[in-house]
Structure 1
């Protein structure tokens, strides 16, 4: 369902989402003012809240600098989510990690962390492009991380010189060992293979890595080459075989001579998805999605459940669409166009992302080809896929949608049930809004001081009750939206959208059902009238049948003697 309203561009950056990341059963979002929020399953401390409790709504993550003033607090510019851990990048280049740490994916040798932990080793290490001559190091640019990524049990970072770092459960990089293996690295290690080149983007699955690297020393546009390495048991490296790779190797389909350049990359557990455009200018919009690897659940989108060893385009996606975002869950894939169209394929019909109109059962089955959700999402920003849920940022960052499996509150809508149609995430978080009101800091106002403790306690109680009431209302609204969509779909054969709301109801709040019914019949075409006639004929027949059965039961009761009369 398309949103009814859009926040203007001048809206508060605190409420604008600029990035989203999804783990196995948790989600992270980054706001325009540099704050990080999380929700979903709390096991292993992946939410960074200080406990392992689940969160059904987005909650803010507090970092070490939370006690500082707002002007001095750490501001974040990047987020990433592995299966059970999370990573955040601050604007000063520092990296923070929390959650599961059995393989060292947090960057230190210790237990799991329930709160964000500063990865200090980046401050001490050199970088892959540095020289061994100490006299030259003083002229080199200080190391600073520019982007972070995570997947499975590993974490990755790209520094300001284009160097790639990895830690956690990573492919063994030593050339001395002939067999492929994964090792637990509790400190970031550089990938030296790209020395003299610039790593621009990277993604990783359970045990494989795909990187976009410049052909020359610096990225000039149109010169990116796709590399892959790691586990290749299902062809997820796109190299034409199933042999594992210890070192990065060029994916020939997207080498320097290819007509296509990759601009987005995503990895599922054992499959890979890429977005490309033509290197040479063209009069037509040519944006394509390519997939390869494991296809057992239809996650490749090629119409079958067979895996493939080389990249192939997803042919069922329409031509002349510019795809702005792609992501992979464990066994599903989703893409979004600049026009707000969402396609999904793979396990359980893309986990309910784009259910067909006739689906009413509890087991939707897998979707080997892309399924388009019925309505468009205004101004899409990014899509993120978890193990079995998907999150979409739309309305230029001011609205969140989620769908899929809802256990542990992973959908952020206050429920723990599965949702096979997009539902709105509670955003912005009500608790944050109320905290601003309580402290008096909204719109630049100074904090209210010298409050009576009893008055503050009473205010906290009122705010808490108001928060719970708003959550309940939001839950009811989500239920009503879903009910209206199902009912509308049953009658008209298409999802309920904003334009379907009668004009009289939009303008005045008063709904004259008899008049609206007459107007609808007057404006309906023949096909819609035939559909309505069929629907109401079947419904009327069902009512008559039920009335007849009830009347027969009443006649039988009237004719039978009362119990205990002996007759």
Structure 2
């Protein structure tokens, strides 16, 4: 019957997997380096170095803790509100965490009281398990939970139909109860309907279901109170599968007992074992993990070995062949921690990277796919990036496969709403074959390979160009635009350059920033008057610039701070040439200032880079282009809200202006009126800047970020100011 049930699941999952065959591999965002793992039936949990919590996989009962129970998470996703996490335990359809203050929190399915909150109410977000303090370890099974206290006692709650709570009854418990007669306990593990504990003296005790010998006492009789596992001493570590158990001894050998139909005991047979037997050929083992019907160990040399059921490739040896004795998991070295789910396996390496193999019908491998893997593959971060853009409180990246990834505040709802921002990159659905990006204050633009333009975000002024003023959480096509070769987003407006050299704009127009000779806002594109032979465009809060093929620069829109560079403060509803600028090769504009890169590698700037935020006195406005002193050999440049960055030919990055959020990347928060070097950015290929944060695309295809991070716009998974560049995971 058990094999028949698994076969039924295999058919269902295969039909899901086949729907994805031929689709692109979605290498997705991942946490900062990880420190701890736990796998449930079809979902996984991980703790990052910063003690944040991450979850992925099946979410039908809210077991991911994301506030919903509507869909899977195919990529690791940060669990909101969970900080200072030091241990995790994933059960069947529920989750537990142990926090630094030694309290336990739970969420997900609660039909049997496995959340321990005194109810049977499902919880979509973490709730504290009341009455538990000074906890040092936790474990979770299909429908019951365990906690070890610092005084050596074990407490349990949830389903008790087989006596797995160890309180001498078979009555399920909605709140924690003490396991009978156990003292001086040092470790625990939870199987499907049985539980294990290790005492200080190295003996192992077990309780609950024992129909196939999973308690290891030499019988097949279930026990409502703990019994000693026969013949085991000097044990250091325990693991429990669905109906089998594992123990690691101080001499590095592994012992197993219980259900063995798939060889999960590892003794070369398929005979159930009622008492422990040594797993064949294993020495120098340092860690254990047990899945539904397979087993894993980590050896001191960093290699991983597996045995048992392999129908979904959960043994990671490149085959689907069942193994009755251990085989080495292929291509995996430097292992640090293991975790096994129902039909899949995970390994955490010493470098903090996560690797997975086996079944992934609900995204439990965290790879963005539902296809299974017969050998380990990395749960990769944001790589192969070819372009970047920074918005007011958000960031966007374009990967070489044409997909678009965003992080930070989405601008559509209150910033206090967890769903309003993402602290790590998330893929924008519905976009493919994208060539370049642009951002406004709260909207984002994408240029397709076919010359079409797509937009999403806030649309109060028509800045999305779809003929409406309706906010959009997903991309919509800009009306009537084709053959576009470049674009940019201003405060609440957008500009696009077509292949014929004409410029088009839409959105807010209160100061003539659309360049059509009026101050009427437009919800669909209109042509900027009088401009031809344009090769580049740039848009800021309320003004725009265009570079023509002859090296001249033209500007229009707001000009109170001299950002049009014509030595006046009059706004212009149509483009006018900036007379003193020639031989320009690149432009950038944001906030109240503008930048130009000349053919000789020098930089010109004009407008007000500090605005009203300059703390040392009144703003210093430059009404016409002025050279930035000391800068030569510049190859690219970018303007932030009140700061600027340049990349020189020697690979160094320099910045100046406002630095209250560390947006210059020099490790300080001091304003810089002249360029200072940003730290740790050798090997930079491209720069991008938001209002108060900055981004760098490295030559390796990875992304670094720094500066303001209150809405996760740096993308490192935190919400704190970053004054030196950190890698976006």
TM-score (structure 1 length as normaliser): 0.43
Structure number with bigger Rg = 2
Q: Which has the higher contact order (CA 8 A, sep 6+)?
A: 1
TM-score (structure 2 length as normaliser): 0.34
